Chain A
Amino acid sequence: MVGSKEIIKVQNLIKQYGAFTAVNGISFNVYEGEIFGLLGPNGAGKTTTLEIIETLREKSGGEVWVDGKSVDDDKNEIKKIIGVQLQAAGYYPSLNLTELLSLFSGLYNVDIDKMKTLKSVGLEDKVKAKFKELSGGQKQRFSIATTLINNPKIVFLDEPTTGLDPQARRNLWDLIRGIRDNGTTVVITTHYMDEAEQLCDRVGIMEAGKIMQLNTPDALIDELLATGFTKQKDVKGANLEDVFINLTGHEWRDE
């Protein structure tokens, strides 16, 4: 699926807040059709980087192109071809899902089949539910649904699985893979390494505003092993999460 066309180009990106440098001269490319992960601990600069690419934040230095358009000149053109999921909500809490979809269909100037959209994220039973009445996982799924309304070339997901239970996380992974398989490029941030390993075609590991490593998860692991690294503990064929999933099932839980 992964093409060789660079759909996002970031060159020497810098973001400063006063004396604090949140993003310190990073460069990377995202290829069309891949799931690209930005990993790192809280405060590493992932969200800032994402928001600059999404045109929600001004950069202090460097260059960013999205689908050949510069974030300096073509903000509105970029907004038309991307879908953005924020780390926290971003929806009128007292509106139901149909009403919110009407809102976003207006905001993106596209006509949509609301039922189909809700079905694509497994929320067809929640048509009349208010956003504030949804569970954490449902909120994230709805949020992803709104990012797909304009049929974007790229979707940005900022820590979509934070705070979710294992079932909800797995279901979200399936959803994200489905988006990629439909030809949409996905840029995701997370601080869960198992998630990145499962989901991402390539990852960049950020720390203190810099990208330390950038490669496929496999290559990064191999590189580490090549240095002679061994895990301290013997790894069993399964872990506790596998036990948990095996016991509690894989279905979407709508608490």
Chain B
Amino acid sequence: MKKYNQMRAMLAIARASFRSTTRSPSAVVFTLAFPLIFILVFGFIGNNGGAHVHVAVDNTSDTLNAIYKILDNNPAVNLYADSDSEIYKELKKGDLDAIVHIEKKDSGYVVKVATSDIAVQNGQLFKGIIKQIVSELNLRAMPNIALPFSMEDQPVIHGREYKTIDFILPGQLGFSLLSTGVFGTAFVFLSLRQTLVIKRFFATPIKRPYIVLGEAMSRIVFGLIGAAFILTLGHFAFGFTMIHGIVTFLTMMLLCAIGLIIFMGFGFVVSGLAKNESAVPPIANLITLPQFLLSGTFFSITNFPNWLQPFCRVLPLTFLNDAMRKVSFEGAGFIDIWKDLGALGIWGIIVYALATKLFRWE
């Protein structure tokens, strides 16, 4: 007699469960429709420009001169004095409109203004302000001689536009994974118990852990297909930034898989706690809704009151969202997001410890 192969049995369950899932309207709606609707809505909302010009002062700049003082007093200019090397990244993202560098020379002062092609208007506006100050000071200082102050344009830095979609899409993707993980897993295991499918499995030679693995595998594949769809559509239809192309895409997918596995742990917990199907939504919502609102899905966490922010920052979805944004827009690799991954890992350990305690077979 051939040796019984648990893997073959597990894959048979995974395949059957996947087919069953794709025929469940609620699974499709949660995984694809909801996130897509939000992405559509936010995808069409453009960026709104600021009323002020945000300018960083290069840290090697001279700040004791007249130009700096006038600039500092200009209400239309938000001047950020203690800056570091990050300012050039921020200029690229459009968080800054310009970087100013005032250099002291023997003959006087040279103002260098760096702008990016994202904030063209604000950049021009700032240059205009500088030109005005320069010519005024020139006239005042040396009315008769060659002008000691002059302005030099720095080459325009080509930056990346941080679009609304770049913020919204990772958040929606994260939330989609959360609902697929929690609701999907909870309902599936509950209905497997109720329809006795799981009992019928027990009557075959497959071992119990392989039943769970097979079911989990199908949820993961389903969730990842949804994620790939959202990422692809976001990229081609709404210009979602995946900075290193396919590498970023694959990193995102791996991140999605990690997130999904952790969220499925919550699903196991819910299916263990819920006595019947109607008990699933309240418990599952208790887990998903706070994260939906507080994990930076729609707005940055910095918009919440200070007392709430520490709570927001420890939610698993926050870590996933942050990590996904860093990967997609800033091109971070797994080493760069080790803190987020570590935090997710701790959540995973807590949740699965709880799930193994609460999980019920019958």
Task: Tell me the A residues contacting B by CB distance below 8 Å.
Answer: 54-56, 76, 79-80, 82, 84, 86, 88-95, 99-100, 102-109, 146, 150
| Closest CB in chain A relative to B6 CB, distance in Å | 9
Q: Besides the contacts A95-B19, A95-B23, what 11 more A-B pairs have beta carbons closer than 8 Å?
A: A55-B203, A76-B205, A84-B200, A84-B203, A90-B195, A92-B19, A103-B12, A107-B13, A107-B204, A107-B206, A109-B8
Which interface class (under 10, 10 to 19, 20 to 34, 35 or more) fits B?
20 to 34
**In the bound complex, what is the Cα–Cα distance between A225 and B305 (angstroms)?**
88
Supply 12 A–B pairs (Cβ within 8 Å), ascending by A.
A76-B205, A79-B205, A89-B196, A90-B195, A91-B195, A94-B24, A95-B23, A102-B15, A104-B12, A106-B12, A109-B8, A109-B205
Query: A90–B13 contact, CB under 8 A?
Result: no
Determine if B17 and A108 form an interchain contact, defined as CB atoms under 8 angstroms apart: no
Among residues of B, the one whose C-beta sits closest to the C-beta of A100 is B16
Determine whether the beta carbon of B196 is less than 8 Å from that of A86: yes
How far apart are the CA atoms of A106 and B199 in the complex, in Å? 16
Identity of the chain A residue whose Cβ is nearest the Cβ of B203 in the assembled complex:
A84
Asked if B343 lies at the interface with its beta carbon under 8 angstroms from chain A, I say no
Closest to A90 in B: B200
Residues of B within 8 A of A99 (CB): 16, 19
Interface check B201, CB cutoff 8 A? yes
B26 within 8 A of A: no
* Minimum Cβ distance to chain A for residue B15 (Å): 7
Q: In the complex, what distance in Å separates the CA atom of A82 from the CA atom of B23?
A: 31
CA distance in complex: A93, B197 (Å): 9
Asked if A79 and B204 sit within 8 Å, CB to CB, the answer is: yes
The answer on a CB contact under 8 Å between A94 and B20 is: yes
Q: Which residue of B lies closest to A92 (CB)?
A: B20
CB-CB under 8 A from A90, the residues of chain B are: 195-197, 199-200
Cα A100 to Cα B204 in complex, Å, equals 14
Q: A76 to B204, alpha carbons, bound, how many Å?
A: 8
Closest A residue, CB atoms, query B201: A107
Given contacts A76-B205, A79-B205, A107-B204, contact A93 B195 (CB under 8 A): yes
Specify which chain B residues have a CB less than 8 angstroms from the CB of A79 in the assembled complex: 203-205
Interface: B9 (CB within 8 A): yes
B1 to chain A, nearest CB (A): 8
Complex Cα–Cα for A104 and B24 (A): 21
Residues of chain B with a CB closer than 8 A to A109's CB: 2, 4-5, 8-9, 205
In-complex Cβ contact of B11 among A55, A94, A106, A108 (8 A): A106
CB distance from A229 to the nearest CB of B (A): 40
Given known A104-B204, A107-B206, contact A91–B197 (CB-CB < 8 A)? yes
Contact of A86 among B15, B19, B203 (CB under 8 A): B203
| B101–chain A nearest beta-carbon distance, Å | 66
Selected contact of A88 from candidates B19, B20, B196, CB within 8 Å: B196
Q: Is B158 an interface residue (CB 8 A)?
A: no
Please, which residues of chain B bring their CB within 8 A of the CB of A108? 9, 204-205
Minimum CB–CB distance from B79 to chain A (whole Å) comes to 63
Q: Which residues of A contact B20 (CB under 8 A)?
A: 92, 94-95
**B residues less than 8 Å from A103 (CB atoms):** 12-13, 15-16
Q: Are A102 and B12 in contact, CB atoms less than 8 angstroms apart?
A: yes
What are the residues of chain B within 8 A of A104 when measuring CB–CB? Answer: 12, 204
- What is the distance, in angstroms, from A62's C-beta to the closest C-beta of chain B? 21
Q: Which of A56, A89, A91, A92 has the most CB of B within 10 A?
A: A92
What mask results when residues 198 to 215 of chain B are scored 1 for a CB within 8 Å of chain A, else 0? 011111111100000000
Contact status A107-B196, CB under 8 Å: no
